[in-house]
Structure formats: structure tokens, C-alpha cells
Structure 1
Amino acid sequence: MNEPISPEDFSDPLQRFGADVKRVRLGRKITQKQLGRTTGYSESYVSQVESGKLLPSERFAIGCDAAFGTNGLFSGLLHRIEEGDHPTSFVPYVQLEQKASSILGFAATTIMGILQTEEYATAIFRAGHPFETDDVIRGKVAARLRRREVLDQDRPPKLWTVLHEACLRTHVGGASVMAGQLEFLMHLAARPGIDVQVMPFVAGAAAGHSVPFTLLTFRDSPAVLYSEDPQGGRLCRTASTVASSLHVYDRLRAHALPPDESLTFIDTVRKEFAP
């Protein structure tokens, strides 16, 4: 007879969180539908959280504590997931990214996170968090790689990224890591619904005034803008600001190399890194 799976058997923190919710829910003899009604979410939402496929919201975690009488257990677990994997300010973006119909990104010096390889992401996080333990870095990398799961959905978002040439030539993790990253980028760009354009140095000031940013569009709600500065990332829903950023993005695409030429350009740079 197979032994029951305990939450400790899951290496993924979202799976552990979901397994804990399910274990306590069953112990309290509460159905998914009842828990959804209590927390203000659908039965499907509860099911996705329990299976580890969806990052739960703070409202859901607090609702679980209220329904189960667990005195802050699940809200505390969620807070530790946020600290260990994503910065708290980035969690709302990740939740929106999972629902987006298109992801439009401009990257100035590093490949956008959803397109990074494990080795590249590890080098990025290690450089940005030089005093953290290897376990913390692994958690951050795992969270970044999980974001790619959105591209494997039945109806994945369209992804379009404009990469400044500096992204391709900035040495992150060494030559072999860069060669692997650029090869992976080419592999993703060959998939339907994913477009990659390179803004070459020779484009001059066309991209020089733009900071990295990402636009998320949705089928049934307005687009949002995510941008980063030295104080951290922030979401913007102001219609005029989002519209202005969409206009800037259109101009960036117009000044960048066409997708086919961009892939040829990426392969040329990849060969420079390849042993």
C-alpha cells in the first residue's frame, strides 16, 4: 500500500502550502466549495491553490486562518513564501502575469526574468544578494523558473520582448552561461506566440531614454504597467501612463531589428560566447 504524501514531501513551497490547506480542510470536514465561499473565491481557485498551481492571495490565506481557526498560520506561511521566493512588492505582478493575454517587455541590460535559464538566474540573484545563503538563492531561482509555466498553459499569453544589445553582451555568469542563455532564448523565440527583437547599439538614442518596463494586457480588463527603480518595482494602472508606455513600446519595436534578423543577431553573439 502506498504511504500518504505529507506536505514535507514537496520541495516546491506552493505545493507545500496547498498540501497544508488541503490537510487542514479535510481535517475540519470542509469542502472546497465551502472554503471558497468562506474566503470569497471559487471552488476552482481553491483547487488550484491546493494543487500548488496558483500563488494564493493574502486575502485567501487570511480567509483560511479564519475558516480553520489557525491563528495566522497560513498568512504567515504565505509571507515566508513571498520573502523566500519573490519580493513582496513583486507578488501582485506575478499574479497578474498568470492572467495576462499578452506580456510586452523591454529589457535594457539583462534578459527579462521569464526568459532566463536556471544558470543565468542564479548568477543574477547571487550578484544581487551576495550575503544570502545558497538555499535562499535556490528559492529565488525556483520562483523565477516557475513563472515560465504560464507559457505552457492551454491558452498562453502572447509574449513580445525587445532586448537592448547590452542584454546579449553583458557577461552574466561567464561565457558558457551566456551561450546557454542565448541558445535558450532562440529556442523560445521559435515557439508560436513568442517574439524577440533586438535593439542594436547602432540604433543610438532610440532606446537610451527608456528604463526597463513590462506591460500586461488582458482580455477583459485594462492593461497595467510594471517598472522598476532603485526603490523597487511598482505597478501602475493609470490609463494615461499605461497608454503613454504602450506608445513608447510601439516606437521601441519600430526601431529594433525585425524578429528574423534579431534571431540571426542573437546567434552571432551566441557563437562569440560558445567554446
Structure 2
Amino acid sequence: MLDAITWREVTALDETTPPQHLNPLQRFGRDVKQVRLARKLTQKNLGKAAGYSEAYVSRVEAGKMLPRPSEKFAKGCDTAFGTGELFTGLLRRIDEGDHPSWFVPYLNLERKASRILDYSANLVKGILQTEDYARTIFRVSNPQVSAEGIEGKVAARMRRREVFELDTPPLLWIILNEACLRTVVGDAEIMAGQLHYLLTAAGSPHIKLQVLPFWAGAPAAHAKPFTVLRFTDSPTVLYTETRVGGRMHDSAQTVDAALDDYDLLRAHALSPDRSVALIKTLLKEYRE
């Protein structure tokens, strides 16, 4: 629990800058600075305690650490300040604030999964999207959101890749319908960048990628996008999305049916090597 003094330190406002004019990263940096000063620590002291340089702390406090400060830094602040998990929680809420509320439960489970089995029918899965590809999708699907808001969503999507930097990262096995590769999002240049990134991702030991070709027939035409999350110490969960949001399913019968569907899709998909070959061919077409 935080004592009253600590809470006042964190919520104290800089009177020269109205809080409503600060973006989430600036507010996080302001809070770090408020507590650091209250604890009579220099930026160098805090950096040493958290395992980062003085320059890193300076950028965080200025709200200029993009896409956002690391979770390790937030934990280091909590340890140095004695604030429990306050800054870790603030950082997590920055992530969640740039995602729809209905997506947050999935996001939390994605970070804990040991296996992620995904079938994408029309668009590349978010965790494998490039910035330009994601930005184009967000602009189309959120026409009323400001440019700054769009950039926040893009940054949040890019941060999902951090799961592959964990000590024990999950294995992502993804099946992309050929439509994901041929549907032009933005323009040919953006698609070329996206396909190039998919080739890079396919070389990771933590990612297995297959393409379900159009000529696969019924399985390719019938299947809707879905994701199965497996855990080392929890039941398997199925995640599906509709136009109005996402839903988690944990009944054994529903999950087993999804796994059967996934096995069927995997059986009709191209092998990983042939999938890479197809992506290279399409990449060449986009570049020309």
C-alpha cells in the first residue's frame, strides 16, 4: 500500500503545465520527476538504481522516451522509490489506454501465453504489422481520431512485440490466408515493407509462419480469423473478434473445436519454406 505522502508526491501537479495538456508519456515522466525530487535523488542516482543512464532518465522525465519507457525502468523506479508497483501499473495503463477496452483482457493473456496459434483471414496479425501498415489501418478505421491519437495506437501495437524479448518468449504459430498478402493496405511500398518484415519474422526461432493459398479451397474460404492461447499452468483460451469487439472463450468443447479447425488449416497451408518462397515472389511484385 502507498502511504499518503507518497500518493501526494505522485499526484502533485506542475502548475505551469495544465495536466490536460500532457500526453500519457509526459504525465508518466512528470510523476517520475515529482517522486525523484521528493526522494532527493538525482537523475544519475535514479538511473543507476534502475539500471539506465542519466540521459535515459532525462528523456523519460521529458516525455520523450519513445515508444515508451521500458517495464524494467518502471520496476526500477518502484524499487528505488519504494512505491510498490505504482509506476509499473502506470506504464501498463499507458499501454491499455491506446487499445480498445474490450481488447485489454486478450492483451494481458497474450503476455502470459506460452503458445499463440493464430489464423488471420484478411489482414496481417497486429503483432506482426509494420508501423506504416498499422498506421494505415488505424487511419481508415478511426477517421475521427487525431494524428497524435493514431500515433499512440501505432506505438502501442509495436510494443506488443516486446513479448518476444521475455526470458521465455511464447511460440507464435501464425497462418496467413493469401488474402493477407494480396490485399493492398496503403500502397505497394507499404506492402513491400510489410512483406519484408514477415520474412524477417519467419526467421525467428519464436515464430512459425505458413500461408494458406487460395487454391486450398473450402478451408481457406470457410475459416474466420481466431487466436488460441496456450499456457503452461492455465487452461487454453480461444479469442475471436467481431465488428463490435472481442470475446474470450474457455469452454473445453469450444476450444477443442477451434484446435481441430487450426489443425485442418495447418494441414492445407503451404509448408514454412514454401510460404517464405511465396512471400518473396509477392515482395518482388510489389517492388516492381
> What's the TM-score bracket when you normalise by the shorter of the two chains?
0.7 to 0.9
Within-5 A mapping of 1:137-152: 137-152=150-165
Aligned partners of 1:179, 1:16: CA distance in 2, in Å? 30
| Max Rg structure | 2
Contact 2:67–2:159 at 8 Å: present in 1 too? no
Aligned partners of 1:123, 1:186: CA distance in 2, in Å? 20
In structure 2, the residue matched to 1:68 is none
Contact 2:229–2:238 at 8 Å: present in 1 too? yes
In structure 2, the residue matched to 1:240 is 253
In structure 1, the residue matched to 2:88 is 49
Contact 1:106–1:212 at 8 Å: present in 2 too? yes
Distance 1:144 1:185, change over 3 A: same
Distance 1:163 1:185, change over 3 A: same
Aligned partners of 1:154, 1:13: CA distance in 2, in Å? 21
Aligned partners of 2:170, 2:245: CA distance in 1, in Å? 25
Q: TM-score, normalised by structure 2?
A: 0.73
Contact 1:164–1:199 at 8 Å: present in 2 too? yes
1:9 maps to amino acid: A
Distance 1:271 1:164, change over 3 A: same
Q: Does 1:273 align with 2:282?
A: no
Distance 1:241 1:112, change over 3 A: same
Q: Which residue, 221, 224, 227 being the options, matches 1:208?
A: 221
Please list every run of 5 or more consecutive structure 2 residues that lacks an aligned counterpart in the other structure.
Answer: 1-41, 47-56
Aligned partners of 2:258, 2:126: CA distance in 1, in Å? 20
Distance 1:125 1:240, change over 3 A: same
Q: Does 1:197 align with 2:213?
A: no
In structure 2, the residue matched to 1:9 is 62
**What is the alpha-carbon root mean square deviation over aligned residues?**
2.8
Contact 1:15–1:50 at 8 Å: present in 2 too? no
Regions of 4+ moved over 3 Å: 1-8, 10-23, 80-83
Distance 1:197 1:131, change over 3 A: same
- Secondary structure in 2 matching 1:208: helix
Q: Which residue, 102, 106, 114 being the options, matches 1:101?
A: 114
Please list every run of 5 or more consecutive structure 1 residues that lacks an aligned counterpart in the other structure.
Answer: 36-45, 56-77
In structure 2, the residue matched to 1:39 is none
Contact 1:103–1:160 at 8 Å: present in 2 too? yes
Contact 1:21–1:50 at 8 Å: present in 2 too? no
The Cα offsets for residues 212-267 of structure 1, whole Å up to 9 and x where unpaired, read as: 11111001111111110122111111111111101110110001011100000111
Equivalent pairs counted in the alignment come to 233
Aligned partners of 2:271, 2:142: CA distance in 1, in Å? 36
Aligned partners of 1:82, 1:51: CA distance in 2, in Å? 10
In structure 1, the residue matched to 2:230 is 217
1:253 maps to amino acid: R
The Cα offsets for residues 188-212 of structure 1, whole Å up to 9 and x where unpaired, read as: 1011131111011111111222111
Tell me whether 8-17 or 86-95 shows the greater mean CA deviation.
Answer: 8-17
Q: Which residue, 93, 117, 122 being the options, matches 2:130?
A: 117
Distance 1:20 1:200, change over 3 A: closer
